[in-house]
Amino acid sequence: MFKRIRTVFSKFIDKASAILLSRDRLVELIEDFKLELISNDVAYDVAEEICNRIREAVDEKIVKDRESLIHLLRNIIRYYFEAVERFDLLKEARENKLYKIVFLGVNGVGKTTTIAKLALIFKENGFKPLMVAADTFRAGAQEQLRIHGEKIGVPVFSGKYGADPAAVVYDSISYASNRGFNVLLVDTAGRMHVDVDLVEELKKIVRVAKPHRNLLVVDALTGNDAVEQARFFDGAVGVDGVIVTKVDAYEQGGVPLSVVYAIRKPIIMIGTGQGYKDIKYFSIDDFLDKIISLK
């Protein structure tokens, strides 16, 4: 997990600490570092900003040794994550009679699996979740959610194949309210951004559901595409928070930072495997510890 970006940081720290006093060589090194960041999924603008700030700190003589360089780098990265407001799903669920989340994301990123993982978290915290299959397009989509539901012991609401997804969501809300469910997790069809009709439909789902949160699921392995997807969905229906999946198999490391930078919305959770327990709350400190070693 994040191994490549960790190597990029540690190499930079090693080399830069040795030449902190020779500005020209340092500037050159920072330029190389920038390219390395970019090739590990750090968006160009972020990489440039990071490097500008390092250069400024060097000029202001803030960076005196290895320790202060590490400190500086961690603070620079931390800043991006702390600049966006975070929220707590369990806390919000406690504050609402029926807490509704709509999950967004393109095909195959891990939406359905993530919904099942989250449903299990809600269940284990004493909630009564209902999963809603609003993907009425793809054969097998509802079935997939139902299989997950059976395995984790969480009911699934679905409409007929080919039904209007917004109508399914509408019906699921009264169903949930009448039967004492208090968390509604809506699975939507994987949308390709070029498809305008599908976007209109997504807007309709959101209008009907009036969700407390729209959570976008992105697959870390798609790199820069994850950033494009974030921009797209945020522009189309608004994204409140992001779940980054498949980080267990992801070495580059730049995606969480780039996504937060692109849409200024927090990473809420990360998917760390295919099992139902393979999900974690995103922690800024954990992330920093993984990518920038303290030594």
Ligand X SMILES: Nc1nc2c(ncn2[C@@H]2O[C@H](COP(=O)(O)OP(=O)(O)OP(=O)(O)O)[C@@H](O)[C@H]2O)c(=O)[nH]1
Residues of this chain that interact with ligand X (CB under 6 A) are 105, 107-113, 141, 190, 245-246, 248-249, 271-274, 278
Question: d(Cα 26, Cα 239) in Å, to the nearest integer?
Answer: 39
Nearer to ligand X (CB atom), residue 112 or residue 214: 112
Q: Which one, 110 or 266, has the nearer CB to ligand X?
A: 110
- CB nearer ligand X, residue 109 or residue 260: 109
Please, what is the minimum distance in Å from the beta carbon of residue 109 to ligand X?
4
Cα distance between residue 158 and residue 58, in whole Å: 58
- Residue 113 or 214 with smaller CB distance to ligand X: 113
Binding partner selected for residue 258 from Mg ion, ligand X, none, CB under the kind-specific 5 to 8 Å limit: none
**Shortest approach of ligand X to residue 56 CB, angstroms?**
37
DSSP string, 217-271: EEEGGGTHHHHHHHHHHHHHT--SEEEEE-GGG--S--HHHHHHHHH---EEEEE
List of residues 6+ apart from 275 with CB closer than 8 A: none
Distances (CA, A) of 263 to 111, 148, 288: 19, 31, 20
> Which parts of this chain interact with Mg ion (CB under 5 A)?
111-112
Q: Toward ligand X, which CB reaches closer, 22 or 274?
A: 274
**Closer to Mg ion by Cβ: residue 112 or 158:** 112
Residue 246, binding choice from Mg ion, ligand X, none, Cβ under 5 to 8 Å by partner class:
ligand X
**Residue 25: CB minimum distance to Mg ion, A:** 51
CB of 144 to Mg ion, least distance (A): 6
End-to-end alpha-carbon separation of the chain, Å? 19
Residue 155 binding partner per list ligand X, Mg ion, none, with a CB distance cut-off of 5 to 8 Å that depends on partner kind: none
Nearer to ligand X (CB atom), residue 13 or residue 186: 186
Rounded to a whole number of angstroms, the minimum distance from the CB of residue 41 to ligand X is 17
Smallest distance, ligand X to C-beta of residue 124, A? 18
Strand order in the sheet with 213-219: 156-158, 129-133, 183-187, 99-104, 213-219, 241-245, 267-271, 279-281
Give the nearest distance from C-beta 27 to ligand X in angstroms.
39
* DSSP output for 80-131: HHHTS----HHHHHHT-SSEEEEEE--TTSSHHHHHHHHHHHHHHTT--EEE
Name the closest residue to Mg ion (Cβ).
Answer: 112
Three-state DSSP state, 179: coil
Closest to ligand X by CB, 34 or 246: 246
**C-beta of residue 238 within 8 angstroms of C-beta of residue 202:** no
98-to-92, 103, 176, 178 alpha-carbon distances in Å: 10, 16, 8, 11
For residues 24, 30, 36, 37, the Cα torsion angle rounded to the nearest 10 degrees is -170
Task: Report in angstroms how near the CB of residue 226 gets to ligand X at its nearest.
Answer: 13
